[in-house]
Structure 1
Amino acid sequence: MDLRGRCQQGSSRQTRIRRCVLKADPSRQWRLLDLQAIDTRLDQIAHAKAHLPQAAAIAAAESELSGFDVDLVNARTAADDVQRELVKAEQDVQLVRDRAARDQGRLDSGQGSPKELTSLQHELVSLARRQSELEDLQLEVMERSESLLDRVSALEQARSEAAKRLESLRSEQAVAQRDLDAEAGQVAAKRPDIVAGIGEDLLGLYEKIRASSGGVGAAELKQRRCGGCRLELGNVDLDRIRKAPEDEVLRCEECRRILVRTAESGL
């Protein structure tokens, strides 16, 4: 592997500095662009996995489903309370009916003194009035019970549909994740062969820059423009690059990424 480094005097606009110049065959430098393309795509896939479009919809669907669960608990509790109220109302009506039936039976038998029979007649009138009041109350409770049961049924249906939507979204998300994982596996499989042809020193510099520069460690110099920071190089920098040996590893003076020269550099 023809990869070596040497130190030389360099200069900036204000001060002279001492910098280490890394040397690598151009073919090895070109491999950095292939490696960068792979790493960029892997980063894009990782970002896509972390921001799947279904995620927000799933969160909303989970919140909706949770809301239905709360509403259902409240609706069922209210329905149960009214059902107990209805049972009591029915029992109260039945008690009055039973009492009226007993009094009517005694009255029809003619047993008892005239005063007692007259009292039974008055009580039957009162019981009939009480029965009517209780039956009206029973009807009102029945209507409330039916309304609450209808609400429970509607909420159960809505919850079922929400659960199906959530399941569908989760299924879509799982498929999207599997597809991205499969693509990541295919892309990553090409990386070792490319890395093997770059060399440890150059690879180490690339990885160091990539970690501190938003995932981009190497960029093509294309049409006088750095592919990393997208800035067009000035004449001074371009002249420096023209004079640099082909095996010298160059850095962009603006973004400090490795600058790879190609046939389209415009030099």
Structure 2
Amino acid sequence: MKADPQAQRRMLDLQAVDTSLAQLAHKRKNLPEYAELDRLARELSALEDERVRVQVGVDDLDRDISRLENDIDQVRARAAKDQARLDAGTGPARELEALQHELGTLARRQGELEDAELELMEQRESAQNSLDEVEQRLAALREKRDEVERTRDQTLAEIGREEEFRRSGRTPLVSDLPADLVALYERIREQTGMGAALLRSGRCGACRLELSGSERTRLKAAPADEVVRCEECGRIMVRTEESGL
């Protein structure tokens, strides 16, 4: 293939743009924020499970406390009824004595229930403190996640603007180059990731290998407008005064 030497040199500009675009694509795909968001998602999931577990404990204690309060209310109501009957002083002495005995039993029962309720309330306070602590950690993690997402989105926007700028500069480069040269370049780039490189000091700028003696001789004899390729990696080698031929 033949191409004007100046057109071949402009291939290096095109390759520089494509290298920048490839780097930007790699950066987009491998943002550190992705790994950080994955880590935060796992932590949030585990902490949410813990929150649910602690919340269930608080709810269970609330139900137990409510049940005890109902029992205490029933004992108080029964004791008030018995006390009213006793204060009225009507009825046989044996019945009044039984009421006094029952009032003593009810007082002990009320004390037991209130002691149990107090213990549960202390447990409930401890459980609520644990729940509050978990919810604070959840809020902090969610805030951290939101912050990382904002950083990710800002970085992606910056990458997008840079990509747009690079692509806008690529279009006129491609338009000014011979179509067959661009087609060859694109085919090689699709296969290897790089279409063209500078031949500098007898080394291919793509694979970094030094040319053999016979290859140097061949390239030195090749016309300036001949498109040459590296015998090792197959990329287009652009010859300039730096090529060392």
The TM-score, its normalising length taken from structure 1, stands at 0.87
C-alpha displacement at 1:67, in angstroms?
2.8
Identity of aligned residues (%): 44
Do the aligned partners of 1:31 and 1:197 also contact (CA within 8 Å) in 2? no
Flag the structure with higher helix content: 2
Map 1:21-100 to 2 at 5 A: 22-100=1-79
1:128 maps to which residue? 107
Q: Provide the aligned length of Structure 1 versus Structure 2.
A: 245
- Hey, what's the Cα distance between the residues in 2 that align with 1:237 and 1:265? 13
More divergent stretch after superposition (111-120 vs 196-205): 111-120
- Hey, what's the Cα distance between the residues in 1 that align with 2:7 and 2:175? 10
> Which of 224, 239, 244 does residue 261 from structure 1 map onto?
239
Structure with more relative contact order (C-alpha pairs < 8 Å, separation 6 or more): 2
Secondary structure of the residue aligned to 1:190 is helix
- Hey, what's the Cα distance between the residues in 1 that align with 2:170 and 2:102? 99
Say whether residues 1:234 and 2:205 are aligned partners. Answer: no
Do the aligned partners of 1:35 and 1:195 also contact (CA within 8 Å) in 2? yes
2:166 maps to which residue? 187
1:159 maps to which residue? 138
Say whether residues 1:243 and 2:182 are aligned partners. Answer: no
- 1:197-244 CA-partner distances (Å, limit 9, x unpaired): 22111111111111111x101111111110111111121111111111
Do the aligned partners of 1:79 and 1:149 also contact (CA within 8 Å) in 2? yes
Secondary structure of the residue aligned to 1:85 is helix
- Hey, what's the Cα distance between the residues in 2 that align with 1:194 and 1:101? 99
Say whether residues 1:225 and 2:203 are aligned partners. Answer: yes
- Hey, what's the Cα distance between the residues in 1 that align with 2:45 and 2:207? 47
Flag the structure with higher strand content: 1
Superposed CA RMSD in Å reads: 1.4
- Hey, what's the Cα distance between the residues in 2 that align with 1:107 and 1:181? 88
